[in-house]
Amino acid sequence: MVENLGVALAAARGFGIARSLAMYYAAPFRGRRMARLYRRFVAPGSLCFDIGAHVGSRVRCFRRLGARVVAVEPQAGLARLLELVHGGDRDVAILTCAVGRSAGRATLLVSATAPTVTTLSRQWIRDVRADASFDRVTWSEGGEVEVVTLDRLIARYGVPSFVKIDVEGFEAETLAGLSTALPALSFEYLAAARHIALECVERLETLGEYRFNWSPGESHVLGADDWPDGRGIRRFLGGLAPGSGSGDVYARLVR
């Protein structure tokens, strides 16, 4: 019985990863849109952090734009996949850990069939129950992982030109471990847990003067022609309809 359960979980996890690979790599137009968006922030020779690298679609994009990349992924299976694809590239550093408020260890909460929603936040799991797209998602404890801070990564690798943060409800905790303003970054938003994105905005405003934008879902298209200030992005996040899905907030340092 235990062996059968293990096989079933392994198969489900494999299916989840295969689905993610298809989602992010099977559509060439998605890669082109992604490159157009990130070219605003990423120049040849610059440094990018991909926090929550998953199957590496952003790593690939950043490298094609000529950037060096630090890819952080706490799920061991996905980190091994990143090693298979990018392990021979000396301009990509792959770290099997998470990023948070302080260094230490924490328990991963893993969904075998949907590895994209693995999280360190139990509160986020409670929040997303209000979103119909999570109706069939279940989580189980996936073991402890090392947690580092953005400050520690910066001390080791240098100041990044761009940081992408997609860590399923742990975005504010990730930014809590940052003590200096960065040129540009993104973090995920979700209507059912919008308070996390609002906390991220508040944290960034303590570090510097930022302008904001957003990109719904995986569209890789900015939602505003101009770049609103903190009040503007708060209006956007506050106006999200229930069940409107996720996306990314982009922040650009003004001074």
How confident is the model at residue 250, as a pLDDT? 98
Rounded Cα gap, residues 98 and 104, in angstroms: 10
Q: pLDDT for 94-136, tens place per residue?
A: 999 999 999 999 999 998 888 889 999 999 999 998 888 888 8
Q: Which residues contact 3 (CB under 8 A, 6 or more apart)?
A: none
Mean pLDDT (the chain) is 90
- DSSP string computed for the chain: -HHHHHHHHHHHHHHHHHHHHHHHHS-HHHHHHHHHHHTTT--TT-EEEEES-TTSHHHHHHHHTT-EEEEE---HHHHHHHHHHHTT-TTEEEE-SEE-SSSEEEEEEE-SS-GGG-BS-HHHHHHHTTSGGGTT---EEEEEEEEE-HHHHHHHH---SEEEE--SS-HHHHHHT--S--SEEEEEEEGGGHHHHHHHHHHHHHHS-EEEEEEETT----S-SS---HHHHHHHHHTPPTT--EEEEEEEE--
Tally the domains of the chain.
1
Domain that holds residue 233: 2-253
pLDDT tier at 37 (50, 70, 90 boundaries)?
very high
pLDDT at 20 over 90: no
pLDDT at 10 over 60: no
pLDDT tier at 11 (50, 70, 90 boundaries)?
very low
Q: What is the domain-level CATH number for residue 65?
A: 3.40.50.150
Is 0.75 surpassed by the pTM of this model? yes
Q: pLDDT for 184-234, tens place per residue?
A: 999 999 999 999 999 999 999 999 999 999 999 999 999 999 999 999 999
pLDDT at 22 over 70: no
